[in-house]
Amino acid sequence: MKALLNTLKWIILIFFLFVALYPLIWLLLASFKTNNLELQQNPFGFPEKWMFVNYYTAIVKAKLPALFIHSIIVAFSAVFVNLLVASMTSFVISREEFKGKNVLLTVLAAGILLPIISFMVPYFTIIQKMRLYDSLLALILVYSAINIPISVFLLTSFMDSIPRELEEAATIDGASFVQRFTKIIVPLSQTGLATAGTFCFIYSWNEFIMALLLTSSESSRTLQLGIRFFTSQFVTNYTAMYAAIVITIVPSIIVYFIFHNKIISGLTAGAVKG
Amino acid sequence: MRKITFLVLSLTLLAAGTLFANGQQDKEKEIVLKWPSIWVGEDSKAGAVAELVDQFNADNAGKIRVEVEAQPDYDGYEQKIRTSIAAGIVPDIFTMKLNPTTKAYYESPLLMDFSKELNGGWGKDFNAGTVAQATVDGMVKSLPYEVAITPVWYNMDLFKKAGVSKYPQTYAEFLDAAAKLKAAGFIPTSQMTGGSNAWTSMLWYSHFLASFGGPDVYANPFGTDAYVKAAEVLLAMYSDGNTSIDAIGGDAGVSGGHYLAGESAMFINGPWYIGRVKSEAPAVYSATEVGPAPAAGNNKGAMVGFLQTNFAAAANADDPEKAAAAVKFIKWMTKSENVAKISAASGAMFAVKYDSSSITDELMGKFINASNDASFTIPHLEGVVTSDVITEFGQALGKMALGEATPEEFVEMLKKVQDQ
C-alpha cells in the first residue's frame, strides 16, 4: 500500500513537472524549426533540421547584445532603487511606532492590486514633464516605483520577524537610528531583500508595455521591445522570435536559481511569528 | 565590498540617466518631426517607407528631418497613441486606424485638421469617397492612406482535387463544395476566435452581413435580422468539420497557417498577406484565386473593404513652421509615385490615385480585379463598432462555436456590449 502511494505520488509529481516544463521545452524545440509552416504542421515534434541560424538571426536582427546591456542596466538599477526605497520605508513601518502606520502600510500594499494599465497616463505625463522620455532612467524609475508596494509588503513582513532585542541591545551600545538600519536590520534582512529584489528584477526584465510607452529610440530599447521586431501587424517570424525569447529568459532563470532558496524563506518569513 | 557595490550601482544609474536621456535634445534651425511608425521590422512596407523617409530627409537636409520611432507591436502602438493623446501629448506624425473608438480623437484640438489643405487641391489626389470616409463633422483629422479589401482566398488546386470545378457562388453551392472537400481530406474554411478581434472570422461575418443586409447593413440597428442570419452561417462554418478543430481559441497564425499548409481551401485576409504566401507557400500562391464570399443572402458579389491606416499629425498651433513641415512630409508620402513604390514593394493598396501598372504581382492583380468587380463594398464590422464590441466578438463566437450560445444569443451579447 505504501509502495503504491509512493508510486502514485511520483506519477503526480512527474505529471506536474511535465506540465511546468513542457512550454519551455516546446519553446526550445520551436526555436530550432525551419519555418512557420513546420511549426504549423509539426508543432509538437522535433525539428526536421536543427536551424541554429534562427539564433544567429535573432542576435543580429534584433541586435540582442546591445539590448541585453540596456535590460541589465534597467533591471539591476531598478532593483537597487527599489530596494533602497522599500527597505527604508519598511524599516520605519516595521520598527517605529507612529500614528497611522497600519493605514500607511495598507495604502502602500493596495498598490499591488492596481492594474499597471491604470498608471499609464500618469507615468507618461510625469516622465514627459521630467524630460526623461526615451531614456533608460525613465524605465528605471518607473519599474522601481511599480514594485515598491510588493517590496514594502514583503520586507515589512520580514522585518517584523527580526527580534526587537537585537535593536535594543544596539541602542544601548550607542547605535543611532541610521546605524540600527544599516548595521542591524539590513544585514539581517538579506533573505527578504533577495526575495523582493528577485521579484523586481523579473518584472523589470520582462516588462514590455511601459518600455513601449516611455521609449522610442534604439538607444533606450530593451530586450522585450527588441523581440517584438520579429512581428508586424500581419506577419510574424515565429522561429527567430522564439530563439530570441529563449535567449532572453535565461537571465531570469539564472536569477531565480541563485536566489530561489532565499525567495521561499523570504516569502514564508513572518508566517509563524511567536 | 558593499561600498564598492553601492558606488558601482550609483554610477550605473547616473550613466543611464545622462547617457541615454537623448530624446529631448532640441536642435535649433532644423525642424525635427518624430514619427512613431508601425511600418518597421518585419512589416512588408518597412523597406520602401524607410527609403522614402531617407530621401525626404536628404532633400530637406538642414531644414526638416523626420525621425522614425520604431513601434513593432501594433496593439501596443495603439495603446501608446491613446495614452499620448489622453496625456495631451500628440506625436508630430502618426498613423491610426479610423474606427468609432479613434473617431474620438477628432474632438481633440491637438490634432491637425487637413481639410483646408485638401480643399486647396490636394484632395484630388485621393480616390473618390475616401476623404469623405475620413471626414467627421467637416474635419479631416486623419488622412486616408492605406486601404484594403479582404476577399475570400480560395485554393483551386484543393477544389479540383476534391472534384469541385468552380468556386461556390451561393451558400448551397458552398455546402456542397464543403462536403466534397471534407471527403477529400481538406478543411473547407480557415477560422479563428482568438487574437484581439477574431480577425478572419470577423471578416467572414462581415461578408455575410453584406450578403444579408446589403450596402446599408450597418445603418440597421444591431440585432436585426441580417446580424442573426449572418451569425447562423458563421456557426455553420464552425460546425460539421467546416473548419479546423483549433479554430476555437486559434489566432491569425492558426487560420493563416492551415491555408499556407494547403490544408484549408478558403481563407480571408488582406493584400498584405500576399508576400508571405508567395515566399512560404509558392504552390498555394499559384493556386490562389480571390473573390467575394458565397452569397448566403440576396446580395451577391459584395466585398469587404475599408480604410486600413490613416495619417494624422499634431496641430502644433504654436509652431506653424512645424505644422507646415508635417504637411510637407505627409504630402511627400502621398505623392503618386511614392505610393506606387510602397505598393509595388509590399502589395498594399492605397487611397491615393497611383499608377498600379508597376505592380507585377499576379495575385495583387487578382485583388485589384476583385475590388473592381465588387457589386458594392462595406467596411468590416471592426470598422463600425467600438473596440469593446470586437473584443466581445471573439469571446461570444467561441461560446457559440462550442454550442453554449445560439446565433440569437451571440448577437445579443454583442448588442449588450454596444448598448453599454
Tens-place pLDDT, residues A210-241 = 999 999 888 899 988 888 877 665 566 778 88
Instruction: Assess if residue B311 is contained within a domain.
Output: yes
Under a CB-based contact definition with an 8 Å cutoff, are residues B209 and B334 in contact?
no
The continuous run of DSSP H or E covering B305 comes out as strand B302-313
What's residue B24's pLDDT?
46
The total number of structural domains in chain B stands at 2
Across the interface, which of A73, A131, A231 has its CB nearest the CB of B24?
A131
What's residue A118's pLDDT?
86
Listed residue (A250, A89, A267) closest to A194, CA to CA: A267
Instruction: Assess if residue B6 is contained within a domain.
Output: no
What's residue B114's pLDDT?
95
How many angstroms separate the CA atoms of B295 and B291, rounded?
A: 11
pLDDT in tens, A2-52: 889 999 999 999 999 999 888 888 889 888 887 666 666 677 778 888 888
Residue A271 has pLDDT above 80, yes or no: no
Same-domain pairing of B141 and B156: no
Same-domain pairing of B296 and B314: no
Across the interface, which of B17, B89, B276 has its CB nearest the CB of A235?
B276
* pLDDT above 70 coverage of chain A, percent: 91
Residues with Cβ within 8 Å of residue B273, at least 6 apart in sequence: A234, A235, B153, B256
Instruction: Assess if residue B8 is contained within a domain.
Output: no
Same-domain pairing of B333 and B388: no
> Can you give the CATH number for the domain in which B250 is found?
3.40.190.10
Average pLDDT, chain A: 87
| Assessment of whether the complete model's pTM goes beyond 0.80 | no
Residue B176 has pLDDT above 90, yes or no: yes
Same-domain pairing of B189 and B242: yes
Residue B238 has pLDDT above 50, yes or no: yes
pLDDT in tens, B90-136: 999 999 988 877 888 898 899 999 999 999 889 999 887 788 889 99
Residues counted in chain B: 420
Nearest CA in chain B to A132: B21
Residue B304 has pLDDT above 90, yes or no: yes
Query: Hunting for cell 495604502 — which residue is that?
Result: A107
Under a CB-based contact definition with an 8 Å cutoff, are residues B94 and B270 in contact?
no
Residues spanned by the domain of B104? 31-148+307-375
- Chain-centroid distance of CA B418 in Å reads 21
Instruction: Assess if residue B20 is contained within a domain.
Output: no
Average pLDDT, chain B: 89
* pLDDT above 90 coverage of chain A, percent: 42
Across the interface, which of B12, B73, B276 has its CB nearest the CB of A231?
B73
Same-domain pairing of B166 and B311: no
* A window 193-212, beta carbon within 8 A of B: 208-209, 212
Residues with Cβ within 8 Å of residue B93, at least 6 apart in sequence: B33, B34, B35, B66, B311, B312, B313, B314, B326, B329, B330
CB contact under 8 A, B280 and A37: yes
Band (A274; pLDDT cuts 50, 70, 90): very low
Q: Within an 8 Å CB–CB cutoff, is residue B13 touching chain A?
A: yes
Under a CB-based contact definition with an 8 Å cutoff, are residues B60 and B32 in contact?
no
Same-domain pairing of B159 and B173: yes
How many angstroms separate the CA atoms of A49 and A61, rounded?
A: 21
| Three state DSSP letters for chain A | CHHHHHHHHHHHHHHHHHHHHHHHHHHHHHCCCCCHHHHHHCCCCCCCCCCCHHHHHHHHHCCHHHHHHHHHHHHHHHHHHHHHHHHHHHHHHHHCCCCCHHHHHHHHHHHHHCCHHHHHHHHHHHHHHCCCCCCHHHHHHHHHHHCHHHHHHHHHHHHHCCCHHHHHHHHHCCCCHHHHHHHHHHHHCHHHHHHHHHHHHHHHHHCCHHHHHHCCCHHHCCHHHHHHHHECCCCECHHHHHHHHHHHHHHHHHHHHHHHHHHHHHHHCCCCCC
Same-domain pairing of B46 and B176: no
Helix (H, G, I), strand (E, B) or coil at B270: coil
Chain B contact set for A241 (CB, 8 A) = none
The DSSP line for B164-204 is --S---BHHHHHHHHHHHHHTT-EEE-----TTT-HHHHHH
* A window 133-192, beta carbon within 8 A of B: 133-137, 140
Residue B25 has pLDDT above 50, yes or no: no
Helix (H, G, I), strand (E, B) or coil at B318: coil
What type of residue sits at position A134?
D
What's residue B307's pLDDT?
87
pLDDT in tens, A152-184: 999 999 999 888 888 889 889 898 999 999 999
Q: Within an 8 Å CB–CB cutoff, is residue B270 touching chain A?
A: yes
Most confident of B187-191, B217-221, B267-271: B187-191
Read off the C-alpha cell for B337. 509615385
What's residue B27's pLDDT?
47
How many angstroms separate the CA atoms of A33 and B328, rounded?
A: 46
How many angstroms separate the CA atoms of A270 and B32, rounded?
A: 56
Pick the CATH number of A63-226+255-272 from 3.30.390.30, 1.10.3720.10, 3.20.20.80, 3.40.50.970: 1.10.3720.10
Read off the C-alpha cell for A44. 509538437
DSSP state of B29: S
Same-domain pairing of B276 and B388: yes
- Chain-centroid distance of CA B119 in Å reads 27
CB contact under 8 A, A135 and B269: no
Is ipTM over 0.90?
no
Chain A contact set for B261 (CB, 8 A) = 37, 40-41
pLDDT in tens, B37-89: 989 887 888 999 999 999 999 999 999 999 999 887 877 888 889 899 988 88
Same-domain pairing of B191 and B249: yes
* pLDDT above 90 coverage of chain B, percent: 58
Under a CB-based contact definition with an 8 Å cutoff, are residues B323 and B112 in contact?
yes
